[in-house]
Structures are given as structure tokens and as C-alpha cells.
Amino acid sequence: MSSKVERWCGLLVLLVLAVLIVIPFLSIFLASMQPAGSAVTGLSLPEEWNLDNYRQAWTAAGFSTLLRNSLVVALLVVPVSVVLATLAGYALGTMNLRGENAILLFFVAGLTIPVEFIVIPLYFNLQAVGLGNSLIGVVLAEIALFMPFSVYWMRNHFRAMPRELVDAARVDGASSAVILRAVLLPLARPALTTLAVLVFMWSWNQFMLVLILIQDPDSRTAPAGLGFFVGQHGLDVPLLSAGTVIVILPILLVYLIFQRSFIAGLLQGGLKG
């Protein structure tokens, strides 16, 4: 195979794949613009562009509440996860604690926990302490679920910092809190941003946990509400499509704004156990 042929084959493969990735999104978007309740066929341009499905999904199906719930959960999960992981990662990455490897291994062991493995007792125990059907229960569970990755991520970041930085500050008599705040944190911005966007994404997209921990469909987050919406409006393709687009758009926007951090995180953040 000559290198020219190879080059064109490569580009062709890339283009075909790009089209294959775009088509589903195009399909759902076009369907969402068709008149409500109409029969839609595959990829077809609507005769008149129609935003009424969005209005209906927004009000009748309560997506405004669902999105607000999603936002509340994410805005609680992200800062708590980031702060706690930073503290733990700092200690595990720079302090040579005794038993540090065992602690780290204990966290790393949790990297592949499936929701299925924790959700049953969570449901019963949160209910028992009065946190059944509450966003707080979801928040607590999500923080714990993402903690192995978050700690592992921050620990690796602090581990990679030049030792001299920390040592020099110690020599100058800085306390551990000051070293973290004044020396290490200013340098940690990229790592923190990446962690924050990843946790935001996982929190936003979490489905099974919310579906189970919150039984009342109106109190759920957007993806879980969408899951319920399918059951109710599965036959009304335009309306269902509008609901789907509503759930996709926010996270897509965040992705476009923070694409660098997202891609860095998704690339390096795979489970390097």
C-alpha cells in the first residue's frame, strides 16, 4: 500500500466515523422539530420548524424542575468531591504517611465499583435515616462513588509536583495547610478543573442511582426523569426527542466550554490501576 493510498484511507475512515457519530444526534434533533404527535420517518427535514415540543416537554413534563434538581446535585457533589479529594490527595502524594500505600490501594480498589453493587443497601439505609427520596441521599452516594477516582487523580497530581517545592516551604517553616494553600494549589488549577468537569459530567449523567434512590419521578434529576418520560411518551417521537435534546444540551455546552479539560481527563483518567 503506497503512503498516498494510506493517507486517503485514513482520512476516509475518519470522515465515515465522524458521519456515523453525527447521524444519531442529527436524527434526534430533526425529530424534535417535527409537529408533536406526528409520524416521523428517519432523517427528514420538518416542513415547518417547530419549537412547540420543547415548550411542552419543558412545562408539561417538568423538565425545568428536573434540570434544577440535576444542577443542585452537581453543584453539591462537585465542590465537596474536589475539596475532599484535594486534601486526601495532598496528604497521600506528599507526606510519606505510614501505611500510605495501603490507604491508596484501598481507594484504588474502588475504581471499578458498579452502582449495582452498592445501591440496594443504600436505598434501605438512606430510607431508614429519613433520606429516602431526597437529593441529599443522591449527593452523598455520588460523592462516595466518585471518591476513588478523585483521590487517585489528585494524589497523582501532587505526586508529580517537584519535591523541592514542598521541602523548601517546610524548611521555611510553613505549616502543611499553608504549603497546600500558598504553594501547591495555585499550581493545581488544571488538575482541579479537569477533576471538576469530570465529576460534574458523571454526576449529571448518573441514572441508575437516581432512579432507585428517588422513587418520585418529579423529584429526580434530568436523565432519570427522561427515563421515566420514555415510559409515558415513548410513542410520541417528536416530544420524546425534544426531552432528549433538553437533557443532552447542557452537558454538551459544558463539554464545549471545557473541552481541553474534558479530553485531558478522559484520556489520562482511564483507570490506570
Residue closer to another protein, measured from CB, 65 or 212: 212
Residues found in the chain: 273
**How far apart (Å, rounded) are the C-alpha atoms in residues 264 and 273?**
18
Residue 108 neighbours by CB distance under 10 Å: 17
Least distance to another protein, CB of residue 122, Å: 5
Residue closer to another protein, measured from CB, 58 or 207: 207
Residue closer to another protein, measured from CB, 96 or 186: 96
CA–CA–CA angle 225, 231, 237 (5° rounding): 95
How distant, in Å, are the alpha carbons of 132, 166, 205, 218 from that of 211? 12, 45, 12, 11
Least distance to another protein, CB of residue 217, Å: 14
Nearest to 184 by CA among 98, 89, 104: 89
Residues 235, 80 contacting (CB under 8 angstroms): no
Residue closer to another protein, measured from CB, 29 or 65: 29
Residue closer to another protein, measured from CB, 55 or 260: 260
Residue closer to another protein, measured from CB, 62 or 223: 223
Residue closer to another protein, measured from CB, 64 or 259: 259
Least distance to another protein, CB of residue 64, Å: 18
Residue 170 neighbours by CB distance under 10 Å: 15
Least distance to another protein, CB of residue 184, Å: 12
Q: Tell me phi and psi for residue 268, to 5 degrees.
A: -90, -20
Least distance to another protein, CB of residue 143, Å: 5
Least distance to another protein, CB of residue 39, Å: 7
Residues 204, 250 contacting (CB under 8 angstroms): yes
Nearest to 188 by CA among 230, 156, 158, 146: 158
Grid cell, residue 49, equals 420548524
Q: Whose grid coordinates read 412547540?
A: 52
Which of 171-180's residues contact partners 24+ apart within 8 Å by CB, and which partners?
A: 176/95, 180/86, 180/87, 180/90
Least distance to another protein, CB of residue 246, Å: 9
